[in-house]
Structure formats: C-alpha cells, structure tokens
Chain A
C-alpha cells in the first residue's frame, strides 16, 4: 500500500533544541520521522516507530513513523533537517526559495531503518 501525500517540513521545539548538537542522537530522534494522522498510518498498516519510505521526484528517505492527529488526511510533516531535505524540492520558482512545503510524495512501509546523519550526508558524495 502506498499513500499519496502532500509533504511539508517545518521547525519543532525539539529540532530547535538540538540545532547546535546535530551529531547527537537527540537530533537524529528529533528530525528523522514523518508525521501522518493515525488514520493514514492505519491505511499504511504501520504503527509509530515503524519505518516509512518517503519518495518524491527528487529522492527518497527512510524515516520513523509518527502519529499527529493535527494533520489533515494526506498531509505528511517531516521536521526541517537533512532527512526532510533528501526529498524536498530544489526548485526555487524564480524567487530563490526552494520548495520546502507542498511536495507530492508517495509513502509506504519499508524494512530500511533511517540513516544516521553522517551516513545520510555521505550519500551526496556518491
């Protein structure tokens, strides 16, 4: 089962709290998840903490599943950071700003655990 979702990113207090500790596990925990509402998680057959593969036309990334019932159906949220940026849009639409919100994404369950920060960054040398 794949969920067609609209992906946005943004700040959270925990992402902000570990902004200057990006090599630490706390930052990894604060940024390497994808939030959907519980109904969408049920549709995908996953529980919180399971792994999700988020794919867009710009890339893919594995993330932990997290529930947030403040999200409307089909809206996925990833905290700003290296994991979100693996799949967000680089298109600046003629005004300089990349597409950090409103990127069409496909979300499905995966067996791949999220990469820690340094491993994720090493992908850019490949």
Chain B
C-alpha cells in the first residue's frame, strides 16, 4: 500500500494540491480532502465506463481495432480533410496541448478549447480592457470583500471557498470568514448565495446594466442611475458601491452567469472597467472561475505557441484568430469544417444541437479515457490515460499558477501526448507519400 501526499486533483480549475491518495495493487482505494467531484475523479475512475480498446465505426457500430489501424484511419481523415476542427484539450497536460497545436498546424486545422463554451468571452474582455488579477494566495491573504458574480462555487468549485476565498484564513484575514464580506450577484438563490452576507438578485441577462450602474455610483454620477436597474433598487446599488469603495481589497470572482448571458464579452469588459474604477479608491482584482482543470493552461500554451489564447485557425498556414468566426461552435453551425478531432473535452455533451447535428455528418476522431456523448458521434476512438492520475504533466490553476501533476498509478493506456505524436508522425508519412 502506498500513500501519496500533496497529489493534485485534476478535475476543476481550483487544482487543489493537498490531496492524499491511498493506492493498493495499483488501485486508488481512498482519497482524503477531495470534494465530491474530486473523490469521484480519483476513486470513481475504477467504476466508470472506460474505453478499453481503439475503435472504428463500421456499418454504424464502433468495433475494436488495433492501435495501428486506428492511427492509420485517423491520419487519413486528417490528411484528406480540407479543414479539420480540433477541439477540447483542457482536461490534459500542457505538454499534450503543445503537441495538439503542432498537429493542427501540420494539418491546417482550426483548433479551439473548451473556453469556447466557458470563459472565451472573458479572454475577449481582457483583450479589450485588461484583466487586473492576482493569485489566489494574494486573495486569501488580503481580500476583505469578495463578490461571486454569476458563479456558484458551492457546486462548481466546492473547495474554493475554504482553500482560497470566503472561509480561508490568511495573513491579514486571520479570522477567515469573519474578516470577509461575501456578496453574491446571481439570477437565482444558489447554495453559494445562501451563505453570503449579501445576495443581490438581478434580472437574468442584465449584468451589464448593473455593472454600468455600479460604475456610475463609484465615479460620482449617482444622478444618472434610475430608481431600479437590473431589478436592483438604486439604494442597494449605492450601498454596494460604497462597500466596494471602502473595502481594503476586493476580488470579483466571475463565472458563466457573466460570460454566457446577454452581452457576453461586454459583461467581462464591464467588470474589468469596474475594477479599474475601484482601483482609484482601493485595491481590486478579478479572477474567472475556470471549469476544466487545465483550460487556463490551454490559454497559456496557445498564446505562447500561436499568439492567441483559443479559436486559432491554421487554414491559411499562419495562425488566424477571430472568435465569432473561428470558434468551434461558429464553424460547426456554419458547416465550415469537414472533419473533427475531439480530445480531453466532451463536445457531445456540451455543444448545442445544431453543432451536434453537423458533427454527426462528418468524420470525428475522439481521444478520451471514458465513453461519453462524443463517443456516440465518433468514427475513430482512442482510449487514453487519465492525465493527473495515470500520467504526470503540467496544468495551470484558474489564477495562472502552474502546478506539476503527479502520476499516481500505472496504466496500459497511452497518454494524449503520445497518441498525438503518433498521429503527427503518421500524417507526415502520408503527406510525404502523397
């Protein structure tokens, strides 16, 4: 029996790095300190529906084939495609992401990450207005006011509040929760809202209006604020603005309520402007609540490899970036790609119906440890090792801190990185022969 301490949980963007894992006969039998998501990741993996063999769809059914046959078939799809969509790469290591980008360049593909359906608009907002941020360590030690805007960490990042935010105890916040004012802005009273000091319920889709009203109040233009904005009374808006101005250090954690609601990237743009305004009075930062454990890492790797954080199109031979045109869902709904490779993410579960109808029409290659809705739409399937459990690698936490994931158990499966390298080699071989 081996007990591994300080293991990293590779599930959500919190990347908790204090997990203790017990391994017996190459099986994880116990895990300490993980939340329900992390526990199911580590211990549950022996119960989940593992893809056991490479598969190719023949006469409508996926049938087991050799690894070499699957690599041949996948490489043929990629070489024969005029424009492939490469999507996902966020539940894997930075090393695999780097190779995926190389494969996209080699095949003239368009490559996008799960940010397309998550914090993509935040990246656009940061490009427009900047993203004044901090590490979660700084927030833990200093923040006396925290806003959770359109996010629900009680469900999506269950240990976030204890490790980094509301309940954590830091150098200047030694009383933990008592030293912090916790504000939740949302459209429904979530479990996070229930434990907040102040819950501000807004009309769905009116985040931008509230940001604008708060900015008006903070910048001394109370007179332009109507009696009610976004379903919130002027009195409450002025009180909230005052709380923020008088705070020593504010952190706005924001989630899908901000990025997916009406106004999309303009909401994040507004929050960024609000943070700039607040920094005239006190100290304030913003941090996006990232979902996939290494979606932040994807943005880092893609930016240093191509100059852009996501939605990069190599069709022209050089990186081209224009979300709205080159996002994964943009090209699928327009029918602008003729093949897809999906890995370390599940488009089948998380893309709207029009995108999935199109995926069902084109050849799809999947690389994943587990069977999921994408498998149902796939034509070539590769089983992969679970990165962060069966393979080591680098991942970036939601605040941009890089952490090294350990290998906890042995596996018979190849890693995403190894599979992609095999695909690159086979594609080059086919192209040379052509």
Contacts and interface: CB of A to CB of B under 8 A. Distances in A.
Contacts of A6: 204-205
Contact of B190 (A24, A70, A93, A98): A70
B117 A11 contact: no
A89 B369 CA distance: 29
A21 B47 CA distance: 8
Interface string B1-43: 0000000000110000000000000000000000111011100
Contacts of A122: 376
Given A72-B187, A77-B188, A117 B373 contact: yes
Chain A, interface SS category:
loop
Interface string A1-18: 000001010111110111
B431 interface: no
Interface in A76-117: 77, 80-82, 85-102, 117
Interface residues of B, number: 71
A67 to B, nearest CB: 13
B352 A98 contact: yes
A101 B205 contact: yes
Contact of B330 (A11, A23, A92): A92
Contacts of A11: 152, 155-156, 256, 291
Contacts of A92: 324, 327, 329-330, 333
Contacts of A47: none
Interface in A50-93: 58-59, 68-72, 75, 77, 80-82, 85-93
A90 B329 contact: yes
Contacts of A58: 352-354
A97 B117 contact: yes
Contact of B352 (A24, A85, A101): A85
B204 A16 contact: no
A124 B360 CA distance: 6
A11 B359 CA distance: 24
A22 B40 contact: no
Given A13-B154, A20-B369, A96-B324, A85 B116 contact: no
Interface of B: 11-12, 35-37, 39-41, 44-45, 47-49, 112, 116-117, 120-121, 124, 152, 154-156, 158, 187-190, 193-194, 201, 204-205, 256-257, 259-262, 264-265, 291, 311, 323-324, 326-330, 333, 346, 348-357, 359-360, 369-373, 376-377
12 contacts: A8-B187, A11-B155, A20-B370, A21-B49, A71-B189, A92-B329, A95-B323, A96-B121, A97-B116, A97-B259, A101-B204, A121-B376
The 6 closest A-B pairs by CB, nearest first: A96-B327, A70-B189, A96-B323, A121-B376, A90-B354, A94-B324
Interface of A: 6, 8, 10-14, 16-24, 58-59, 68-72, 75, 77, 80-82, 85-102, 117-118, 120-122, 124-125
